[in-house]
């Protein structure tokens, strides 16, 4: 790897670190329900059900990101699908920001990751995948 470039290993580390958030927050949301957000109970049962469902989905997305780490250079389709799901969630969060107001710092950080970092990761993974394909062609594989 050339000095000053970020390659496969660095991408794997970044994805691993970032994927910890949906895994941990998903688990906590499943276990605590809306109480996780420090809201005052009682809340409607439907809100609890929806919140826990979305927490489960958040957990699954986080786990799915981890499945991209081994062989990350060959997981382009899965990587992009997960990125699209995450970006769509960020767009929904942006809609909330514009219509309901500014959320907590943690949610603002999530918005930045979803709408800024995730597209950058897609670009980075594409570069890693293209470099791996070039190396494979050059070595006759």
Q: For residue range 33-84, what is the model confidence (pLDDT) as tens digits?
A: 999 998 888 999 999 999 999 999 999 999 999 999 999 999 999 999 999 9
Task: Give pLDDT, residue 1.
Answer: 47
Q: Where are the domains of the chain?
A: 8-138
Q: Where are the alpha helices (DSSP H) in the chain?
A: 8-32, 45-67, 76-100, 105-112, 118-138
Q: CB under 8 Å to 34, separation ≥6 — which residues?
A: 41, 43, 47, 48, 51
**61: closest CA among 14, 114, 105?**
114
Give dist(CA 7, CA 131) in Å, integer. Answer: 9
Compute how many other C-beta atoms are within 10 angstroms of the C-beta atom of residue 22: 25
Q: What is the dihedral of CA 75, 12, 123, 120, to 10 degrees?
A: 130
pTM: 0.92
Summarised one tens digit per residue, pLDDT across range 101-136 is 999 999 999 999 999 999 999 999 999 999 999 999
């Amino acid at each position: 790897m050339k000095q000053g470039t970020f390659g496969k290993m660095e991408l794997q580390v970044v994805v691993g670190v970032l994927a910890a958030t949906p895994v941990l927050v998903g688990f906590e949301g499943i276990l605590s329900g809306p109480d996780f957000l420090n809201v005052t109970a009682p809340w409607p049962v439907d809100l609890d059900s929806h919140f826990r469902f979305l927490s489960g989905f958040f957990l699954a997305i986080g786990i799915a990101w981890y499945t991209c780490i081994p062989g990350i250079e060959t997981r382009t389709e899965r990587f992009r699908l997960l990125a699209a799901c995450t970006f769509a969630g960020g767009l929904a969060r942006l809609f909330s920001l514009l219509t309901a107001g500014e959320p907590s710092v943690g949610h603002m950080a999530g918005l930045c990751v979803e709408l800024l970092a995730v597209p950058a990761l897609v670009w980075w993974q594409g570069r890693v995948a293209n470099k791996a394909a070039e190396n494979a062609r050059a070595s006759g594989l």
